[in-house]
Amino acid sequence: MQTIFALATARGKSGVAVLRISGPEAHEVARRLSGDLPGPGRFALRALRDAAGAVLDEALVLRFDAPRSFTGEDTVELQTHGSIAVIRAVEAAIAATGLARMAEPGEFTRRALLNGNLDLAQVEGLSDLIAAETEGQRRQAQSLFTGAMRNFVEDTRRDLLRAAALIEATIDFADEEVPVDVSPEVGALINGVIAAIDGQLSGFDGAEKLRAGFEVAIVGPPNAGKSTLLNRIAGREIAITSEIAGTTRDILEVRVDLQGLPVTFLDMAGLRESEDRLEQIGVARARERAAAADLRILLQDGTAQGAPFEPGLEIDLTYRTKADLTGVGVSGLTGDGVDRILSDVADRLAGRVTEGTVASHDRHRQAMQMARGALACAESAFTAGEGAEIIAYHLRDGLAALDSLIGRVDVEAVLGEIFAQFCIGK
């Protein structure tokens, strides 16, 4: 396997930059730049030099010997000053040794997976952790990265292996009398695993939304204060506000951290009938996007007379606006009542996130559904008194589907998609 190297910190001017080298020649590459290396698991300050002996920088050199490293291979990390010129010079010196090549996106983590230092779900958790924007996302990703999915799989796998062993014992002793009736224990084990999977699947939608982000649509008639509210939430002028009806045509988005939840607020065209072709398109898009949103806030103009506005959409929260003029309701202009709106939205969305759900990727959902389907077949065959061979066959299918969650069975088809999301150096 080739030795690889890459910048592990963000490229650009910074106080410190970390360059990572991993593979069979990692130590030799580092020696050519820094001279002698510190002992395994130790660090030391060294001058880095190019092949001509010119000093490139002073760096902290950290040495890790296989398998006690992130990748499971011999690894060296060089902590240099974070100037663009220093980084380029050190990278050029590493490449000039001819012993290492630039890493591909996610290649360090891929090697950690192949060497057994991480399972597939932990790889996904690491990717999510790097991308986390809010505290809720961080906690979710940290749980996955530290092995929550592996724990779930091991617990359910242990029960299924026990059930399979009991069933296969009846096959082995088909011509003899099995000393103990295994039926009650087998049934309880299968149903227990099905219930555990159902618990994960029931919380999947909320967990997936926490990872990817919620969308909240702000809807209402023209001039109801939608754009003013969006600007207040954003803390800056995102949308043009005007008393001219139909000013907003396109959908404007503001992503915020709302009590640890990633939430994108959508401002869109006022819902009304119009002869203007462009406004008609804007209204149609607004209705479509609002219908697909996770939550819909209806703003009613508090100064308007007559019957309440009917949006023709399912509405979750409704507020009267322009309290700065009427003294009642909320005002995006002054901020009165906006904290209440944000609190109401956070409460509604937080109620959709179930604690303890580790399934947060579509791959997790699909594997669990496959496992549940196989176990449902096993349970039906068991209840119907069908042959032990049939029950054992379905149990093995269920086990294989659960094992795919952590990469215990062949999952080569999904690796490219997963590692494409990583940055170079991770």
What tens digit of pLDDT does each residue of 145-185 get? 999 999 999 999 999 988 888 887 766 554 445 445 667 88
User: What is the residue type of 178?
Assistant: V
CA end-to-end span of the chain = 17
Three-state DSSP class for residue 250 = coil
Rounded to whole angstroms, the Cα distance separating 198 from 132 reads: 27
Q: Which residues contact 423 (CB under 8 A, 6 or more apart)?
A: 105, 106, 130
Tokens linked to 381: 């065959």
Q: How confident is the model at residue 245 (pLDDT cuts 50, 70, 90)?
A: very low
Tokens linked to 232: 């207040």
**For 267-278, what is the mean pLDDT?**
72
Q: Say yes or no to pLDDT of 397 above 90.
A: yes
Tokens linked to 46: 């060294």
* Cβ density class 114-151: b for 16+ within 10 Å, e for less: ebebbbbbbbbbbbbbeebebebbeebbebbbebbbbe
- The residue among 73, 85, 95, 70 whose CA lies nearest residue 8 is 70
Sheet holding 295-301, edge to edge: 252-258, 261-267, 214-219, 295-301, 317-321
The answer to whether the Cα torsion of 325, 330, 332, 337 is positive or negative is positive
Tokens linked to 350: 């937080």
Three-state DSSP class for residue 63 = strand
* Consecutive H or E run containing 298: strand 295-301
pLDDT over 90, % of the chain: 66
Rounded to whole angstroms, the Cα distance separating 61 from 44 reads: 5
- pLDDT at position 413 is 54
Q: Which of 36-45, 307-316, 326-335 bottoms out in mean pLDDT, i.e. has the lowest? A: 307-316
The dihedral formed by the CA atoms of 130, 135, 137 and 140, expressed in degrees to the nearest 10: 100
Rounded to whole angstroms, the Cα distance separating 398 from 396 reads: 5
pLDDT tens digits, one per residue of 14-64: 899 999 999 999 999 999 999 999 999 999 999 999 999 999 999 999 999
**For 399-403, what is the mean pLDDT?**
93
Pairing mode of beta strands 252-258, 261-267:
antiparallel
- The residue among 164, 151, 152 whose CA lies nearest residue 190 is 164
Rounded to whole angstroms, the Cα distance separating 246 from 419 reads: 44
Cβ(286)–Cβ(313) under 8 Å? no
User: What is the residue type of 29?
Assistant: V
CA distances from 353 to 2, 100, 359 (A): 43, 45, 12
CA distances from 351 to 195, 206, 337, 341, 355 (A): 21, 9, 22, 16, 10
CA distances from 149 to 106, 171, 289, 405 (A): 21, 32, 33, 8
67 prior amide bond cis, ω within 30:
yes
Higher pLDDT, 49 or 224: 49
**For 108-137, what is the mean pLDDT?**
94
Q: How confident is the model at residue 242 (pLDDT cuts 50, 70, 90)?
A: very low
**For 373-394, what is the mean pLDDT?**
89
Pairing mode of beta strands 55-64, 43-49:
antiparallel
